[in-house]
Amino acid sequence: MGSPAPASELERRPEETLRASAVSRSFEGVRALQEVTLELHRHEVVGLVGPNGAGKSTLVNLLTGFDLPTSGTVELRGREITRWSAHRRTRSGLARTFQHSRSFRALSVRENVEVAALGVGARGREARRRAEELLERLALTALADVRADSLAQGDERRLGVARALVTEPAFVLMDEPAAGLPEAEVPEFAAVVRAVRDDHRAGVLLIDHNMALVMGVCDRIHVLDQGRTLAAGTPEEIRGDLNVAAAYLGETAVDTDA
């Protein structure tokens, strides 16, 4: 198969880019993000890593319209979208998953995915077709009729991914989608992420604490620590960075990921 194909020059054009420029966010004195700049192009997977509290989810919230930066801007395809609503961004090809479940608890797995498709304008039959396809892709077909609130954590996260992908996004931001996934199912999940990049040519931002997954699937990695960019580069470059090892890999050694 060879190494993952990097985003081509074509896909590095502003028209194919989601960008946060020098974004900062403070919460009553807590500087959750400080002047962070990050670009995500179509047809690449970027890992966003760092210890708990580093600002990863805050950055995803700013990019997807669930929160506003204290300063800095967000651009999609060269257009400033800093103050756009989350819904408008979703309709413009931006999708995300949540670290904590946002599924409709009383709806079935299938219904949850269908509702997400309807939300971006797919009609009934088309929404159902797309939902079935995503359930199959994320190994959720056997759970299609199960209520969302009775899922195990790993299945719940994959439902979140299905809900995001059913909107056929150009960019998808995944906040710890593999948490709670049994180790044996991680390779299958990695294949899904690669397929989103290679088959749909979407840009993927992947937050995860599983460094084997991140190193194995990402084209580039961005490391946050205490709201600041600590390092950014290829997996090889990041692996060699001792600061990163101290700040992040040291923590994962005691992070049992219960």
Ligand X SMILES: Nc1ncnc2c1ncn2[C@@H]1O[C@H](COP(=O)(O)OP(=O)(O)O)[C@@H](O)[C@H]1O
Give the interface with ligand X as residue ranges (CB under 6 A).
27, 30, 32, 50, 52-58
| Dist CA 157 CA 179 (whole Å) | 7
Which residue number, 53 or 233, has a Cβ lying nearer to ligand X? 53
Q: Where are the alpha helices (DSSP H) in the chain?
A: 56-64, 86-91, 109-119, 124-137, 153-165, 186-198, 211-217, 235-239, 242-244, 250-254
* 3-class DSSP state of 16: helix
| Dist CA 100 CA 87 (whole Å) | 19
| Dist CA 116 CA 253 (whole Å) | 37
Find the shortest distance in angstroms from Cβ 207 to ligand X.
7
Which residue number, 169 or 177, has a Cβ lying nearer to Mg ion? 177
Q: What are phi and psi of 49, to 5 degrees?
A: -125, 165
Residues 60-119 within binding reach of Mg ion (CB under 5 A): 99
Which residue number, 110 or 209, has a Cβ lying nearer to ligand X? 209
Size of the site for Mg ion (CB under 5 A): 3
- What does 169 interact with, of Mg ion, ligand X, none (CB < 5 to 8 A by kind)? none
| Dist CA 83 CA 69 (whole Å) | 9
DSSP 108: B
User: Which of 17, 24, 34, 57: binder of Mg ion (CB under 5 A)?
Assistant: 57
Nearest residue relative to Mg ion (C-beta): 57
Find the shortest distance in angstroms from Cβ 49 to Mg ion.
11
Q: Which helix (H) or strand (E) holds 94?
A: strand 94-96
Which residue number, 171 or 248, has a Cβ lying nearer to ligand X? 248
- What does 206 interact with, of Mg ion, ligand X, none (CB < 5 to 8 A by kind)? none
**In angstroms, what is the C-alpha Rg of the chain?**
17
Find the shortest distance in angstroms from Cβ 173 to ligand X.
12
Instruction: Check residue 58 for interaction with Mg ion (CB under 5 A).
Output: no
- 8 A C-beta contact, residue 19 and residue 75: yes
Find the shortest distance in angstroms from Cβ 216 to ligand X.
21
- What does 126 interact with, of ligand X, Mg ion, none (CB < 5 to 8 A by kind)? none
- 8 A C-beta contact, residue 109 and residue 144: yes
Find the shortest distance in angstroms from Cβ 53 to ligand X.
4
Find the shortest distance in angstroms from Cβ 42 to ligand X.
24
The contact set with Mg ion (CB under 5 A) reads 56-57, 99
